[in-house]
Chains A and B, each alone.
Chain A
């Protein structure tokens, strides 16, 4: 279950957030959930190629830290960070265009459905190699330090990523140089089909931070308010030049590693238990208790989001793939055009 090593007070006790922030967090959470569920359905309907990596169940781990970032701050995502793109403000049509591999997508259809990247808002298009963006993101933080800018980097990864050597090299370097980066570990208990207990001989992955000389904390990753506040403190420290933090968010992915994975390696009881800790109704309940949200307001918000999603999907359904010859572009700068093969 969501182990809370420290700082695990209930949200209500430690709110201290404005109404606007609470509603903003909830809106991003709901938008992420509805968009994600829509993509799952569309994939099953055969509307786009490849596969789809759903983040349903773990939305609070991406929405919480991302909400309130500056435009210049960098998101170094993995493949399950749709919530970070949504929260940073990437237009839904651009998120959908990437899933549909359309020509209007900024990657022109070259990357993969869940490899969301959007430079105008500092979201780095990820590679599939695990922990890749953690290492590259650490380099972005090194760059900000060299440039004497007070921007920060949020690096997202699963607990399985922490087993890779490069992950350790990056965190080690960040600790030496007190880089402005916050590491968000989404411990969803499963790295594809392998349990967290087979990734490491420690209970809390946040313990790894101690070896690099910066704080690590384990929190309930399904409590968006707690995640936002914990990350907010870490971001403020990073911006002030006080170095990195590793935040382990305990969470759970409801569906398979991707839509082609039936996830039959885990027990139904485990899933049922976590579904009761669904981050969306958890936030809803809190906001309603606080009088920030009503059922009516929630319905109106969901309608508004669904309409936005409809429009985004509609644009992609009508959109086109790039011409196949687009495959030749973006290899080098214009100085070095790729040779066209005569076939």
Chain B
């Protein structure tokens, strides 16, 4: 067991999957010679050559659409979108081609593309380098949407995505790249898609979250524990198709729910999770399903006090948990 950072785990997964399967190749802006603006693909050009590690022109439509085409002829493309903020030009290719390929062809053609998207705030990135934007993709059946919060999951989920036969939008959080370190096995392992992780068992309340907000929630849950409050902490990991079973079982046990996400509240991932709990678990609930989310404003504002005002944090989460418990 060796301690690795979140971004090292991603590089390892790419390296190991490229070594394991020659159908895997990478394409994206600044990923080859420069090794990626965050260095996730560092060293891979030297190891696998320019035909498998492709520096693309600034062409997000083609990065996505070209990956779809390469997948149709039998390859396993792993394109990178440098910032989730810049994914909008790719939307046509992701939504109309990637997500619908299997469906519109009756399963003749499949689209095993794993699109890595560097996302997230709390890095003083301003309006256009801080968005997560996973909410746009979870409303599109046909896509798998992932957002790992730990190095173990980052590696294991990326491997599952690359090996699977479905198109995956894999959100990796920039704030976690070099902040979060943990020991992970040196042997090959994968993490199953579609399964949430119960990070901490508890009895008083269920807290569901993912990505950077898992770490903010953990901070809150740990301090609440010192006050004698037992929170069950669930990390969704897969945002589409999400793990209803694990979350619903927890709600049956605790009857109280707080949902935490980084992005704006309206129509985010937690809007769906909350609605599903309200629809299917109503008889078990003892308090309103409550969300702690980013503000409903167009994007994450730049000036640090405003950025922190936008984002959920341990304090805001703690307040929400206490309010629900007092209901």
Which residue of the partner chain, among A76, A135, A142, A333, contacts B164 with CB atoms under 8 Å?
A: A333
Is B211 interfacial (CB-CB < 8 Å)? no
Which residue of the partner chain, among A115, A129, A139, A331, contacts B67 with CB atoms under 8 Å?
A: A139
Which residue of the partner chain, among A124, A140, A173, A330, contacts B103 with CB atoms under 8 Å?
A: A330
Residue of A nearest to B95 (CB): A129
Check A143–B96 contact: CB distance below 8 A.
Answer: no
Residues of B within 8 A of A140 (CB): 69-70, 72-73
Residues of A within 8 A of B73 (CB): 74, 140, 143-144, 147, 151
Check B144–A107 contact: CB distance below 8 A.
Answer: no
Which residue of the partner chain, among A74, A166, A335, A339, contacts B65 with CB atoms under 8 Å?
A: A166
Is A106 interfacial (CB-CB < 8 Å)? yes
Shortest distance between the CB of A93 and any CB in chain B (Å): 16
Check B62–A138 contact: CB distance below 8 A.
Answer: yes
- Chain A interface residue count, CB cutoff 8 Å, equals 47
Residue of B nearest to A335 (CB): B164
Q: Which of B57, B72, B144 gathers most chain A CB within 10 Å? A: B72
Interface 0/1 of A166-184, CB less than 8 Å to B: 1001101100100000000
Residue of B nearest to A332 (CB): B166
Residue of B nearest to A170 (CB): B62
Residues of A within 8 A of B57 (CB): 169, 172-173, 176
Residues of A within 8 A of B71 (CB): 139, 143
Cα-based distance from A105 to B102 in the complex (angstroms): 14
Cα-based distance from A172 to B59 in the complex (angstroms): 9
Residues of A within 8 A of B304 (CB): none
Cα-based distance from A146 to B109 in the complex (angstroms): 19
Is A70 interfacial (CB-CB < 8 Å)? no
Check A119–B109 contact: CB distance below 8 A.
Answer: yes
Check A132–B105 contact: CB distance below 8 A.
Answer: no
Is B104 interfacial (CB-CB < 8 Å)? yes
Residues of B within 8 A of A143 (CB): 69-75
Is A219 interfacial (CB-CB < 8 Å)? no
Interface residues of A in 168-208 (CB under 8 A from B): 169-170, 172-173, 176
Which residue of the partner chain, among A141, A173, A176, A331, contacts B141 with CB atoms under 8 Å?
A: A331
Is B142 interfacial (CB-CB < 8 Å)? yes
Check A142–B66 contact: CB distance below 8 A.
Answer: yes
Residues of A within 8 A of B130 (CB): none
Is B107 interfacial (CB-CB < 8 Å)? yes
Q: Which of B73, B97, B102 gathers most chain A CB within 10 Å? A: B73
Is B174 interfacial (CB-CB < 8 Å)? no
Check B106–A108 contact: CB distance below 8 A.
Answer: yes
Check A146–B194 contact: CB distance below 8 A.
Answer: no
Is A329 interfacial (CB-CB < 8 Å)? yes
Task: Decide yes or no: A107 and B66 within 8 Å by CB, A129-B92, A146-B25 being known contacts.
Answer: no
Is A125 interfacial (CB-CB < 8 Å)? yes
Interface residues of B in 98-140 (CB under 8 A from A): 100, 102-110
Residues of B within 8 A of A125 (CB): 104-105, 108-109
Is B291 interfacial (CB-CB < 8 Å)? no
Check B104–A127 contact: CB distance below 8 A.
Answer: yes
Which residue of the partner chain, among A74, A137, A336, contacts B144 with CB atoms under 8 Å?
A: A336
Residue of B nearest to A327 (CB): B103
Interface residues of A in 117-137 (CB under 8 A from B): 117-119, 124-125, 127, 129, 132, 135-137
Interface residues of B in 28-67 (CB under 8 A from A): 51-52, 56-57, 59, 61-62, 65-67
Cα-based distance from A332 to B141 in the complex (angstroms): 8
Check A147–B106 contact: CB distance below 8 A.
Answer: no
Cα-based distance from A106 to B193 in the complex (angstroms): 29
Cα-based distance from A139 to B62 in the complex (angstroms): 8
Q: Give chain A's interface residues, CB within 8 Å of chain B.
A: 74, 76, 105-108, 110-111, 115, 117-119, 124-125, 127, 129, 132, 135-147, 151, 165-166, 169-170, 172-173, 176, 329-333, 335-336, 338-339
- 12 A-B pairs (CB sep. < 8 Å): A74-B72, A119-B105, A125-B108, A135-B68, A135-B93, A136-B93, A138-B69, A142-B70, A147-B74, A332-B144, A336-B193, A336-B241
Per CB-CB distance, the 7 closest pairs between chain A and chain B, nearest first, are A139-B69, A135-B65, A139-B66, A143-B70, A166-B61, A107-B106, A143-B73
